[in-house]
Chains A and B, each alone.
Chain A
Amino acid sequence: MTAGLRLRVDPIACDGRGLCAELLPGLITLDDWGFPVPCEQDVPDALRREASAAVTACPRLALHLEPRS
């Protein structure tokens, strides 16, 4: 069992491009203005690879996968 990881959006860097919500539909939703809302739970182990790929894909480098603080 590895330590829990969560998705965090840097609100200043984020421009609401929405790529993350397309790549991780179960983990990130968009608010009424198109800005991402990551789910508050830990990323399930089975989706960790996809989550890392979304972090790398963010054109604003605004998505982070980090240990629960």
Chain B
Amino acid sequence: MNHPATSPRATGSPARLLPGDRVARPGTLAGHLARHGTRPDCAGGGRRREELIGEVERAGLAGRGGAAFPTAAKLRTLAAARPRPVVIANGVEGEPASDKDKMLLAVAPHLVLDGAVGAAELTGAGQVVIVAHHAVVPIVSRAAAERRRAGQDSVPVRVMTAAGSFIAGEASAVVNWVERGLATPTGRPPRLGGPGRRPALVQNVETLAHLALILRHGATWFTSAGTPDEPGSMLVTLLGAVRRPGVYEIGIGTPVSGLIELAGGTTAPLSALLIGGYFGTWAEPDAVLPLPFSSAGLAAAGASPGAGVVAALPSTACGLAETARITRYLAGSSAGQCGPCLFGLHAIAGQLDRLAAGTGCDLATVQRWLGDITGRGACRHPDGTALMVASALRVFRAEARLHSRGWCSGTGAAGILPVPGQARS
């Protein structure tokens, strides 16, 4: 197995998924094949499939959509499922702070398509559906059409525009969208499908791109980046008070401070970082900057990589105001199906608005509500929001005391973290 053509950067970050500057027309099939070579045929008997799934297992590939579930285990379950499954590539990326899936689909659509078709061959699936954020649908559709003309794929590939909501990317909501046109969670595991419907393998698009490379280059190559327990590279989105916000590819385990350096360093002293996105964890800079960006490394700060979002909060911004804004957004993003999520998140957002404005907030009640809503929905929307809010109340404790006395240390406008429909400052 050969090493792919890589263009290592000065920082030593791997360029496996994102093409470097030297790759010509990476979005075309010809450019893709010139860079990565042809896609190996993964169809064949059960024995060959089991060998290849074993290779994915040795590679230690885990889902890059936020849950970090072992990909080989999912492939094995779906390979045994009846009727034949459908492979759904999840490129919904409803999280407003994350750009990595859109970026990947825009610059390397064929790598994702290779991985999705490979996953279909490994599981015996009869169809691939790519659910893509609307911004990149034209690029993905063009790539799929080019492959069809070239007779590239063994299974039919369909491209669907994702629904535009935050919740639309939740795995059961993606299945519901594909099967019934409803972008709401069902609480039913995708592997079971809907009633009488096809079992679904739902994989984040980045996971599928890694899978495509593992099927080409093998487990030993894949594990040459990352940590022994969490191998490989991952895409991260850096935003906030950094010089060059954007999407970067890192080896898992790179220190958080190294991520900030990749983005050109900070533009201001930081008061906190939001790690993992809107279902993530606020952490103090001193506590989190030295830690490896991995599940094991970030656990020391009570955080996890999630889908790779790192937002740097400048000390001129008020963390409570930012938290109140995104909590209000998340409350409005509830699918509205489960009472504790719908009413609880709005109640919590209301209290956080008062905390941010310094008009009096009952923190003990908010703490109780965070416990009350956890585990009470069909999906993890209330749980994820509660974790983020709980971390804000820990990290911005001193700021909350200031607010209760009518002060705020923030001097800039709120709006570091993006919320759809509102301009960033």
Contact = CB atoms under 8 A, between A and B. Distances in A.
Given A11-B187, A12-B187, A31 B338 contact: no
Interface string A26-57: 00000111110100000000000000000000
Majority-rule SS of A interface residues:
loop
B369 interface: yes
Contact-residue size bin, chain B (C-beta under 8 Å from the other chain) = 10 to 19
Contact of A35 (B187, B337, B339): B339
B343 A33 contact: yes
Interface string B169-195: 000000000000000001100000000
A35 B376 contact: yes
A12 B337 contact: yes
Scoring B186, B340, B344 by chain A CB atoms within 10 A of each residue's CB, the highest score goes to: B340
Nearest to A9: B376
B372 A11 contact: no
Contact of B377 (A11, A15, A37): A11
Contacts of A15: 339
Contact of A14 (B339, B344, B369): B339
Contacts, number: 39
A16 interface: yes
B155 interface: no
Given A31-B372, A32-B369, A35-B340, A11 B347 contact: no
B344 A31 contact: yes
Contact of A12 (B338, B343, B344, B347): B338
A12 B378 contact: yes
Contacts of B187: 10-12
Contacts of B340: 11, 31, 33, 35
Contacts of B347: 32-33
Scoring A10, A11, A31, A32 by chain B CB atoms within 10 A of each residue's CB, the highest score goes to: A11
A31 B274 CA distance: 30
Nearest to B377: A11
B100 to A, nearest CB: 30
A14 B336 CA distance: 12
A46 B132 CA distance: 53
Nearest to A31: B372
Contacts of B377: 11
B338 A11 contact: yes
8 contacts: A11-B377, A11-B378, A12-B378, A15-B339, A32-B369, A32-B372, A35-B343, A37-B372
What 4 A-B pairs are tightest by C-beta distance, nearest first? Answer: A33-B343, A11-B338, A35-B339, A12-B337
Given A11-B377, A16-B339, A32-B347, 17 more contacts: A10-B187, A11-B187, A11-B337, A11-B338, A11-B376, A11-B378, A12-B186, A12-B187, A14-B339, A15-B339, A31-B340, A32-B369, A33-B340, A33-B343, A33-B344, A35-B340, A35-B343
